[in-house]
Every structure is written in structure tokens, then in C-alpha cells.
Amino acid sequence: MRWKPTKLRSPRHDASRSLDGAGGSAPGADSSDPFPSLIMTASVITGPAIDRFRTYALLCALKLELKGLQRSGRSAYSIIKTEYNLKGSRQSVHDQLQSILAS
């Protein structure tokens, strides 16, 4: 049995409608190009900001663990306790690490 398309898909954005429904062009559609290009920017983290960013990433991972999300490998809770010599429950370690980042 061969698959045959029954109908062509319409584009995701209708250029005749704007976000407010009043009509107009698509956001950022300055030219006649139906698919306007996007400008992407990136930030490079260097120097002492690397350690701060990693600590913040561990804090966010611990926050997700508090909500019940699990990950493979070592938990963020055990990594934080080992590296920062913190003691206590997940919530108290989260609060202690938050105060470390705030200072």
C-alpha cells in the first residue's frame, strides 16, 4: 500500500494576518521573502564567570530534583554537597547554595 498525500500543507504563517488580528505583514517580514531570516546571537562565558555559571546550572538542576525530576549519573544534590561541603536536606542545600550565589 502506497501513501499518497491528499492535501498540500498550508504555510505555518499567514502573511495577511498579524498578531493582533488586524491584518498586515508578519513580524519581521521587511522584504518580499516568504521566509525571513533570523538573526541569532550567542554569548561566550569566559574567566571566573564559568564557575559561577556552573554553580547556577547546578542550582537549577537541584531545583528540578526538588520537583521530582531525575537524571542519570550523580545527582546535582550529591555534586553540590561534595564540592561546597554543605549538609542537610535537598531544600536546605538549595537555600544555602542560593545564598552563596547571592553573595
Specify the pLDDT at position 2.
63
In contact, 59 and 96? CB cutoff 8 Å: no
Segment 22-76, tens digit of pLDDT: 555 555 555 566 666 777 788 888 888 899 999 999 999 999 999 999 989 999 9
As given in the structure block, the three cell numbers for residue 102 are: 547571592
CA R_g for the chain: 24
Specify the pLDDT at position 6.
62
Specify the pLDDT at position 9.
61
Specify the pLDDT at position 48.
83
- Please give the tally of structural domains in the chain: 1
| 39, part of any domain | no
| 12, part of any domain | no
| 62, part of any domain | yes
| 23, part of any domain | no
Residue partners of 88: CB distance under 8 A and separation at least 6: 96
Domain containing 94 equals: 50-102
Measured between alpha carbons, how far is 94 from 56 in angstroms, rounded to an integer?
A: 11
